[in-house]
Chain A
Amino acid sequence: MAILVIAEHDNQSLKAATLNTVGAAAQLGGEVHVLVAGAGCGAVGEAATKIAGVAKVLVCDAPHYEAQGAENVAELVKGLAGGYSHILAAATPAGKNMAPRVAALLDVAQISEIVAVEAPDTFVRPIYAGNALATVKSADAVKVITVRTTAFEAAGEGGAAAVESVPAAADLGLSALVSRELVKSERPELGAAKVIVAGGRGLGSAENFHGLLEPLADKLGAAIGASRAAVDAGYCPNDYQVGQTGKVVAPQLYIAVGVSGAIQHLAGMKDSKVIVAINKDPEAPIFQVADYGLVGDLFQVVPELTAAI
């Protein structure tokens, strides 16, 4: 049977997370289809046809999918589910919002944030903030899964899938989007960045957070991340948060500045290739996962580092 990947997009472009999800789907054995549900989302459907390994793109274009509310999209997916052995979404806020709703409508379990495929019915997923890895086997007819994007290679280009338009399901009218405020940034996305500079409470203020980290990030072409404490203190927007309950990242280089290294933070970055920690407290737990640790006052070290690169 075929595998359905629910595309993540903003009606204009396909989000990179979709490519990693297709990468995971390719390990399941079966034809891979991608569903693009949105409004005026033809260009996204077009882009999806070019993903390597995708056989068919289902486009469902209707006004009530504009905001991609979980209620309406899950209803649509429920109607399509009959032909599929697996339904996959990225473990992003959008995927996590929708996939459990799809699973419950189908009366099946949902398998959250898989990091490996052992067999078409057996998957590995982190539990307890990544302090343990569970291997789970599903007995359900349809496996509804969210995929940790950092654990799977992105599918490449070069596909030539067919497009099929599918009829919309009913508008349930349960939810309406009032407003959406997106932070505009010239920087790479956290999820896709090769280098991340992350700041914690040690920065002390929003001015310091931006004043010290941005020049360093500029030099490295890096994305900026943060600990929850930095977000809570208002140093930066919430979507900078890295961790158990924020974003999971795995860049080539992660520089943690004034971050203590609570398990909830480590859960989101300990798969980075090289970790650098800058902290004035030699006992800070972040040093236990750092490849290179520098004990020092960040107010002195960070400008020095920026100048030296």
Chain B
Amino acid sequence: MKILVPVKRVVDYNVKVRVKADGSGVDIANVKMSMNPFDEIGVEEAVRLKEAAVATEVVAVSCGLAASQETLRAAMAMGADRGILVETDAELQPLAVAKLLKAVCDKEQPQLVICGKQAIDDDANQTGQMLAALAGWPQATFASKVSIADGKASVMREIDGGVETLSVTLPAVVTTDLRLNEPRYATLPNIMKAKKKPLETVKPADLGVDVAPRLATLKVSEPAQRKAGEMVADVAQLVDKLKNVAKVI
């Protein structure tokens, strides 16, 4: 079984981004970039399935700037076998990414695609579901446990109020939640080995996909800042403030 793992290059989760003064976007020049944390979890899950001899090959795919090669190398250092870069300078929105991934799936014929549940830059939480729709496959989003048997995936997923387990036919799309696993750190020898793994580059036009954005961003602004609060000395003062000033208890 082949597993495809889409990985996105995003601003590192420890960085607090700043909005540009002209309102045109956020300033990501000279900011640390990393693999989207949910995608690290996706790579980890796929590599574990390969280690368990459930999967035979793990292919990482990234769509975006040439620099996304780094993200693919990081995935290969964790254990992905090869990488595919769909290279473009164009702004990519989730529907466009889903179409690119669908085209890659048509070529690669994976049995399972493991996306992150959400990219932490656009916070869209869409791409996996959209890919599943375009491919006509089932989806199991927000997964906290995945097992594969008899041509089906059994997926425990996080829902409002608890968890549920779905049984979906393969091929399918799974999206990862934080609890699914704890991604490994790539070791130095594996980072070296990853440099020699195959990395293929294609363009959206090669895949016949129109990536034109459907949403125009008119402006990006800073959210309202909270007013500075005050420190209280003890519980008595806290209770007094809550009762008599804020009047919330």
Give A107's nearest chain B residue, CB to CB. Answer: B95
Interface string of B125-156 (1 = CB under 8 A from A): 11111111110011111101000000000100
Whole-angstrom distance from the CB of B120 to the nearest CB of chain A? 7
Known A-B contacts A238-B158, A238-B163; the reply to A109 vs B221 at CB < 8 A is: no
Whole-angstrom distance from the CB of B95 to the nearest CB of chain A? 5
Of B120, B123, B142, the residue contacting A97 (CB under 8 A) is B142
Q: Is the CB of A275 within 8 A of B229?
A: yes
Q: Is the CB of A274 within 8 A of B248?
A: yes
Q: Is the CB of A135 within 8 A of B179?
A: no
| Interface pick from A47-55, A80-88, A156-164, A169-177 | A169-177
Q: Is the CB of B222 within 8 A of A132?
A: yes
Give A106's nearest chain B residue, CB to CB. Answer: B133
Q: Is the CB of B238 within 8 A of A93?
A: no
CA distance A15 to B164 in the complex (A): 18
Interface of A is mostly: mixed
Q: Is the CB of A131 within 8 A of B16?
A: yes
Q: Is the CB of B162 within 8 A of A180?
A: yes
Q: Is the CB of B94 within 8 A of A109?
A: yes
Interface string of A267-309 (1 = CB under 8 A from B): 0001001111000000000010111111110000100110011
CA distance A95 to B231 in the complex (A): 39
CA distance A40 to B236 in the complex (A): 53
Known A-B contacts A104-B98, A176-B167; the reply to A112 vs B123 at CB < 8 A is: yes
Q: Does A5 contact B (CB under 8 A)?
A: no
Interface of B is mostly: mixed
Of A94, A109, A273, the residue contacting B160 (CB under 8 A) is A94
Q: Does A110 contact B (CB under 8 A)?
A: yes
CA distance A91 to B218 in the complex (A): 22
Supplied contacts A127-B123, A183-B161, A231-B179, 17 more A-B pairs, CB within 8 Å: A70-B139, A94-B159, A100-B129, A103-B130, A104-B131, A109-B213, A127-B26, A132-B17, A132-B19, A136-B218, A180-B159, A180-B164, A220-B249, A253-B248, A293-B230, A294-B232, A305-B239
19 A-B contact pairs sorted by A residue (CB < 8 Å): A69-B166, A70-B129, A97-B129, A99-B129, A104-B129, A109-B213, A135-B217, A136-B215, A175-B139, A176-B166, A178-B165, A183-B162, A245-B117, A253-B242, A276-B238, A291-B227, A292-B231, A301-B235, A305-B235
A residues touching B (Cβ–Cβ < 8 Å)?
A: 15, 67, 69-71, 74, 92-94, 96-105, 107-113, 122, 126-140, 173-183, 195, 220, 228, 231-232, 237-239, 244-245, 252-253, 263-264, 270, 273-276, 287, 289-296, 301, 304-305, 308-309
